[in-house]
Amino acid sequence: MPEQSIEMQLSSALTDGRSQGISDEISNVVFTLDDLRVFYGDYQAIRGVSLTIAKNEITAFIGPSGCGKSTLLRSFNRMNDLIPGARVEGLLAYHGTDVYGPDVDPIEVRRRIGMVFQKPNVFPKSIYDNVAYGPRVNHIKGNMDDLVEECLTKAALWDEVKDDLKKSAYALSGGQQQRLVIARCIAVRPEVILMDEPCASLDPIATSKIEELMRQLAVEYTIVIVTHNMQQAARVSDRTAFFTAELDEAGVRHGRLIEYGPTRQIFSAPQDKRTEDYISGRFG
């Protein structure tokens, strides 16, 4: 069977994806970014980014390595605060509140805006205690057994582990560990889930399960995902933002947003030639 072209693969992915019927207008806004800039010391990693992200949609950040996608993603829940010398300028508002405002507690920000990383970062605890950890630390009341079952069910993992809850999380496969991390994330009742290359270390079968899970979770959560896999972005996302790294007058590379819109439009009728070149495989 002949290998499909990139265009054919993307067309097939869009046919199976979520983006049908998504309009250019965003009415239910969760995040507003206005001229957002991220610095590491004197180096400006991200030039002014302005966009809005809608509730209960999956937004994908795509672009070549080094264009600042992960840096931008970590700005949403102030994870960059943990990096010495990092700072954010401009506006990043969550439901109208500046995430970097002086009275905002970054711990509360991270509770409401959870994060899943590239490699499953399970704790050296049992499956049960991984899920229960966040609720215990945050003093969330209620029946813990019910909460653990609820979160594992939402993460499409309950049926696979319900008889092994006392076993170490390390006994799970990579894909199961990533779903456990998602269950642990949603156990503290976030509204938003950030995902930084969540399938990068997984095989195709595990990747398919995570993608299916993302589509299910988007009914209840707002999801922002960074991915190098354009077919994945086409399959799962409602909107896509394309970034690239461009040289300034001094020859220094900075990440920059090139184009943002409904996924179907970005992949089938991009407005910027740089977007078209990247999606078609002509660069990046």
pLDDT in tens, 34-78: 999 999 999 999 999 999 999 999 999 999 988 999 999 999 999
Answer whether residue 158 is part of any domain. Answer: no
As for how many domains the chain has, the answer is 1
Answer whether residue 71 is part of any domain. Answer: yes
Answer whether residue 128 is part of any domain. Answer: no
User: What pLDDT band is residue 21 in, cutting at 50, 70 and 90?
Assistant: low
Predicted local distance difference test score (pLDDT) of residue 169: 97
Query: How much is the average pLDDT of 126-131?
Result: 97
Answer whether residue 161 is part of any domain. Answer: no
Secondary structure of the chain in the HEC alphabet?
A: CCCCCHHHHHHHHHHHCCCCCCCCCCCCEEEEEEEEEEEECCEEEEEEEEEEEECCCEEEEECCCCCCHHHHHHHCCCHHHHCCCEEEEEEEEECCEECCCCCCCHHHHHHHEEEECCCCCCCCCEHHHHHHHHHHHCCCCCCHHHHHHHHHHHCCCHHHHCCCCCCEHHHCCHHHHHHHHHHHHHCCCCCEEEEECCCCCCCHHHHHHHHHHHHHHCCCCEEEEECCCHHHHHHHCCEEEEEEEEECCCCCEEEEEEEEEEHHHHHHCCCCHHHHHHHCCCCC
**Residue 6: pLDDT over 90:** no
User: What pLDDT band is residue 22 in, cutting at 50, 70 and 90?
Assistant: low
What's the whole-number average pLDDT of the chain? Answer: 90
At 83, which CATH number? 3.40.50.300
pLDDT in tens, 164-181: 999 999 999 999 999 999
Answer whether residue 25 is part of any domain. Answer: yes
In this structure, of 20-24, 199-203, 257-261, 278-282, the range with the lowest mean pLDDT score is: 20-24
Answer whether residue 59 is part of any domain. Answer: yes
**Containing domain of residue 114, as a range?**
6-123+185-279
Answer whether residue 160 is part of any domain. Answer: no
Predicted local distance difference test score (pLDDT) of residue 281: 79
Predicted local distance difference test score (pLDDT) of residue 156: 93
Answer whether residue 32 is part of any domain. Answer: yes
